Amino acid sequence: MLALARKINQSIMIGNDIEITLLEIKGDQVKIGISAPKSVSIYRKEIYAQIQEENRNAGKEVDVSKIRDIFSPKE
């Protein structure tokens, strides 16, 4: 992990097109701004983990035999 010190209104760049700016510090909270292309998804880590879990669960609920019946040639 790379750890960087920044002051308010200072930024870091990730690649050529993602900019992270430190906007505010209040007590134990830090507010950041993220500028990135619309094609880049940005999630809080806990939301990202929920999405991943939902995706794993969705794959478990598939009844493969029913899918085979749909695509198998009918006699």
pLDDT of 67 reads 76
Q: Quickly state the pLDDT bin for 43 (edges 50, 70, 90).
A: very high
The answer to the question of residue 17 being in a domain is: yes
The answer to the question of residue 6 being in a domain is: no
pLDDT of 23 reads 98
Which structural domain range is residue 25 located in? 11-71
Please write the tens of the pLDDT for every residue from 3-34: 999 999 999 999 999 999 999 999 999 999 99
Lowest mean pLDDT among 8-17, 37-46, 56-65: 56-65
Best CA proximity match to 17, nearest among 42, 43, 35, 44: 35
Number of domains in the chain: 1
The answer to the question of residue 52 being in a domain is: yes
Query: How many whole angstroms separate alpha carbon 52 and alpha carbon 50?
Result: 5
pTM for this entry: 0.68
The answer to the question of residue 58 being in a domain is: yes
